[in-house]
Amino acid sequence: MNHLSTHGPHALVLTSPPGAGVLDDATLDIVRPLMPAATSEERWLSDGEAWEAVSPSGPIPQKDRLTAALAGRPIDVNIVFGDRASRRKKLLVADMESTIIHQECLDELAGYAGLRDRISDITGRAMRGELDFEAAIKERVALLAGLDASLLDKVYADVTVMPGAAELAATMRENGAACALVSGGFTYFTERIAHRLGFDTQQANRLNISAGKIAGTVAEPILGREAKLAALQRLAERFALEPHQTLAVGDGANDLAMIGAAGLGVAFRAKPIVAAQAGASIVHGDLSALLYLQGYRRDEFVRT
């Protein structure tokens, strides 16, 4: 959802994977004729990787036409609303699994029980919005009853952070934003990832453990789609922020409510139902693209 006027300031932002080198003058020669005939300030945010054209007002570029014109190139096309100041958000609320980290932790845990395919199928259907989230998590966790809880350590040891995640959180925090990790997964993982990447807060479900074994149940209430939305709203109120000052990113159907309520809602390598409804979508780039959407130059990124 856009919380700023679509007739006011806006920016066309083109991003590509770091090091791909596919954004060049030839690419811009394709793009410029498809842009509205209005005053725009063009600049490179990162040579060969991110470019923007900022307009103070006037017609909005047609994203679909631009995307079609660049088909076959690993370039993400997005329109972001607001002036330079309002594009820089003061709150980041991020999904964790398949967004901040590569893995779906329940699926990884299922591998130790020989149930990866079965549980991954349920996970995928839930993330596509085909299954009720609460019922799906209960079904998956029940299948893991009796597994040794020490396997959680093994799953975490193999967790890999999504490229750009550390830079995203560090840069936004350096510029006065709060960063929250919200997940339909488990606190065992969110607590560790939040600490590792410097997120200010985290929330997730609590996996019940009994006598050193996974009990096969989840502590109530189960946190899903509405809990993520509530987290965004609660944190915005806590920091006295307007909706347009917030950014939410995720990949699954349980992220849709918070993505829709944020000033900038981003679908990151997301399921089709999410990409179709989000204000912005990153398919090719990494999470550093979220900084470019906010108008940051690469030389402003905080290295970690």
Segment 82-93 mean pLDDT: 95
CA 17 – CA 46 distance, rounded (Å): 11
Residue intervals of the chain classified under CATH 3.40.50.1000 are 88-103+161-209+217-304
pLDDT, tens digit, 9 for 90 and up, residues 124-149? 898 888 988 889 999 999 999 999 99
What are 228's two structure tokens? Answer: 């993520």
Tell me the C-alpha distance between 80 and 297, whole Å. Answer: 15
- What is the reported pLDDT for 96? 97
Evaluated on CA atoms 77, 98, 264, 174, the torsion sign reads negative
Rounded distance between C-alpha atoms, residue 269 and residue 63, angstroms: 18
Map tokens 């609660």 to a residue: 234
Output 129 or 243, whichever has higher pLDDT. Answer: 243
**Per-residue model confidence (pLDDT) at position 83:** 92
Task: Classify 198 in phi/psi space as left (phi over 0), alpha (psi -120 to 50) or beta.
Answer: left
Mean pLDDT across 70-81: 96
Domain 1-87 = CATH 3.40.630: no
- pLDDT value of position 57: 86
Q: 251, 100 in Cβ contact below 8 A? A: no
> How many alpha carbons fall within 13 Å on the CB side of residue 170?
12
Query: What is the value of pTM for the model shown?
Result: 0.94
Cα–chain center distance at 298: 19
Fold held by 88-103+161-209+217-304:
Rossmann fold (3.40.50)
Query: Which tokens hold the place of 230?
Result: 């509530």
User: How does pLDDT run across 10-59, given as a tens digit for each residue?
Assistant: 999 999 999 888 999 999 999 999 998 776 899 999 999 999 999 988 88
Residue span(s) of the chain under CATH 3.30.70 come to 1-87
Strand, coil or helix: 107? helix
- The strand pair at 213-218 and 207-210 is best described as antiparallel
Lowest mean pLDDT among 77-91, 112-126, 288-302: 112-126
211 pLDDT band, cuts 50/70/90, is very high
Q: Are 176 and 155 in contact (CB under 8 A)?
A: no
